[in-house]
Chains A and B, each alone.
Chain A
Amino acid sequence: MLEIAFKGSKKYWLWIVLLLAVIGAGAIAYVDQFLNGLMITGMSRDVSWGFYIANFTFLVGVAAGGVMVVIPYYLHDYERFHRITILGEFLAVACLIMCLLFIVVDLGQPTRMLNVLLYPTPHSMLFYDMIVLNGYLFLNIVVGWKVLEAERNQVEPVWWTKPLVLVSIPFAIGIHTVTAYLYCGLPGRGFWLTAILAPRFLASAFAAGPAFLIILCYIIRKFTKFDPGWEAMQTLSKIVCYAIIANLFFFACECFVVYYSGIPSHLAHTQYLLFGLHGHNMMVPWMWSSLGLMGLGAIFLLIPKLRNNHALLPVTCAMIFFGAWIDKALGMIAGGFVPSPLHHVTEYAPTLQEGIIALGVYGAGLFVLTILYKLATTVKEEVRG
């Protein structure tokens, strides 16, 4: 089936070359980081995780968002999602590969990475994160591939794909729950120490994932003969709508708790994000833009006329995707680490080189996504003749 990826239009190859160039630039920047250490990043003693882990967290969400097409189709026989389930699964694959790459580029000693397997440590949440992330990746690759192959040969998928799909559902919830547990089980970090963190992660994931999927559907419609179906996209946009409202609601709950209770060690972080702390307010414009984008996006999706507008929908989805990215990637890290446990305010901004490395990882993810989507759309075109 992979041979499909080697046949494509000029535009396809141009895109591939562009992605390879981005990956190459990221790789060169990474070699320098590998040799000289994480000093090239903007991270510090006080903000010890940065752009890499932020993007990791966000992409775990996008990966988990894939389950929003799997559940309706496999559990509720929602036929309209038949065409796009494979897109959700392959999106999860690409995102998980980016997640794993982000973890690797974040490690100080990447060559010792396998120590996690050599000395398995069940009391560390990273141990479980490793299991669920790799498990979910494996499940999606196997299921996506087998189902697509069956579709190409015009036979029923082999029987064991169904139980694997069913297992992948709790895994999808699991990857984001465990990723939230990485943060919310730490005693000294008031911003993360909240039971609602995992639900909030899931809510924003179920908004960002399907929102991105809708944008991808538009791209597929433009560049291939395969039509994912306007009605499927409409259903997805409703899912995005509910999820982003849930995310905003959860954030409002957070704000109520910290501001009404007024406990300084919890309040300081939210205060830093929304209004700045001791004159440090780098995150303020970002956070308000994020809230604006998500809020406006929710309104656009709530009003049927606006939701059904072909031209507006991708813009709305991009707003929500970007808003959720600021909220969960930038806000989650900056809010958690500022102020520090000693209540020093050390702000964080990624360096250019850090950005290039991150871009390289995104390039690698898009590369995988392009190949997988090329396979999926070509097979679907073939079958429909």
Chain B
Amino acid sequence: MMIKSRRSFLKVAGIAAIGMGAAPVMNLAASESHGNAGPEITKNEESLHAKRWGMVIDTSKLTEEVAEAVNKACHKAHNVPDFTITPDPEKYPHARTIRDGQEIKWIWPEHFHYAFPDKEDEFLAEKFHDLPFLVTCNHCKNAPCVQACPTQATFKREDGIVIMDYHRCIGCRFCMAACPYGSRNFNFMDPRPFIEETAPGFPTRTKGVVEKCNLCAERLAKGEQPHCVEASEGAIVVGDLEDPESKIRHLLAEHYTIRRKQSLGTEPSVYYIV
């Protein structure tokens, strides 16, 4: 583990060196060969691991209250702006308001026929009509957004999470055109005036970059469950899809589940128990 991590550190240092002029970083990395141990970069011991993270949403446990709690918990913790509020006139005297439809959503309720437009049944079971299906990034196995991104600002981590490097995004919005689930958002303006209470645990974003659900990678790294799971009163379970013993796999084995737009071959990692 240590050796591997050290190597990955050197690799990253090397990548940085190519871009930034080699000498300083090489010094930094070279201290390793002089006897005393060099700097080491590792994962947190307490972090949660998976071969491929996935999510199961039990729609029988979804109510409007739960959906709203999940939405609030996620958006609050990730500093997702709420454009319905009025910005603090003292801090942001010149804040403009956005146009309708330029909002940002990471996980939000949709009606069945919007969440599953290809499964629109003429005689849909009554209970589905008003059910708040929660939709979010599907962390697809074959993610079209990852394929489209020209800078690898959107990429797939080894553990299956489709995640964004906000530092690198050029804001071309090719990924938004590519995503078949409408899960991506663009910062049409600086979000900060519209964040009522900034959560200290996660950065805000800047204008001009795309953003979306990151499956709470920052929490998994601390050994904690994602915010949506905690707020969902058992409706959402996140776990390792590749581990047959995981809770999520047991749920999948016991229930009939559907995924959004399966026919497109993107292999979504979010399953719905119906």
Contact = CB atoms under 8 A, between A and B. Distances in A.
Contact of A187 (B151, B168, B180): B180
B178 A108 contact: no
B10 to A, nearest CB: 19
Contact of B99 (A39, A115, A189, A344): A39
A196 B98 CA distance: 37
A49 B147 CA distance: 18
A38 B185 contact: no
A109 interface: yes
B178 A186 contact: yes
B182 A342 contact: yes
Chain B interface mostly: loop
B249 interface: no
For chain B, the bracket of interface size reads 35 or more
B204 interface: no
Interface in A183-221: 183, 186-189
B186 A126 contact: no
A91 interface: no
Contacts of A127: 150
A43 B172 CA distance: 13
B133 to A, nearest CB: 11
A135 interface: no
B183 to A, nearest CB: 9
Interface in A87-121: 103, 106-110, 112-113, 115-116, 118-119, 121
A47 to B, nearest CB: 8
A186 B117 contact: no
A44 B104 CA distance: 10
Given A119-B152, A125-B148, A187-B265, A44 B208 contact: no
A124 interface: yes
Interface in A16-67: 36-39, 41-49
A170 interface: no
Contacts, number: 161
Nearest to B140: A187
B49 interface: no
A42 B169 contact: no
B101 A46 contact: yes
A112 B170 contact: yes
A172 B83 CA distance: 44
A303 B137 CA distance: 55
A173 to B, nearest CB: 22
Given A36-B96, A37-B189, A341 B180 contact: yes
Most B C-beta atoms less than 10 A away, residue of A103, A116, A119, A130: A119
A198 to B, nearest CB: 17
B270 interface: no
Contacts of B171: 38, 107-110, 112
B150 A343 contact: no
Contact of B177 (A37, A116, A189): A189
A110 B170 CA distance: 6
A187 B178 CA distance: 7
B174 interface: yes
B118 to A, nearest CB: 6
Contacts of B261: 188, 341
B63 interface: no
A116 B209 contact: no
Interface in A245-279: 264-265
B9 interface: no
A305 interface: no
B180 A188 contact: yes
A49 B187 CA distance: 13
B186 A108 contact: yes
Interface residues of A, number: 48
Contacts of A344: 114, 182
Given A48-B186, A265-B117, A108 B170 contact: yes
Interface centre among B101, B181, B261 (most CB of A within 10 A): B101
A265 to B, nearest CB: 6
B110 interface: yes
Nearest to A346: B101
A53 B182 CA distance: 19
A123 interface: yes
Interface in B172-231: 172-174, 176-182, 184-190, 207-210
Nearest to A343: B117
A49 B98 contact: no
Contacts of A38: 171, 186, 188-189, 207-208
A39 B168 contact: no
A281 interface: no
A115 B266 contact: no
Contacts of B247: none
B164 interface: no
A343 B144 contact: no
Contact of B264 (A125, A187, A340): A187
Given A45-B185, A48-B184, 19 more contacts: A38-B186, A38-B207, A43-B102, A48-B177, A49-B177, A106-B172, A108-B186, A108-B187, A109-B170, A110-B171, A112-B168, A119-B152, A124-B148, A125-B174, A126-B148, A126-B172, A188-B144, A340-B182, A341-B261
Q: Which 5 A/B pairs are nearest by Cβ-Cβ distance?
A: A108-B171, A188-B180, A108-B208, A44-B101, A37-B207
Interface of A: 36-39, 41-49, 103, 106-110, 112-113, 115-116, 118-119, 121, 123-127, 130, 182-183, 186-189, 264-265, 336-337, 340-344, 346
18 contacts: A38-B171, A43-B188, A44-B101, A45-B102, A45-B104, A45-B105, A45-B176, A48-B176, A112-B168, A112-B169, A125-B148, A126-B172, A187-B144, A188-B261, A189-B180, A265-B117, A342-B182, A343-B114
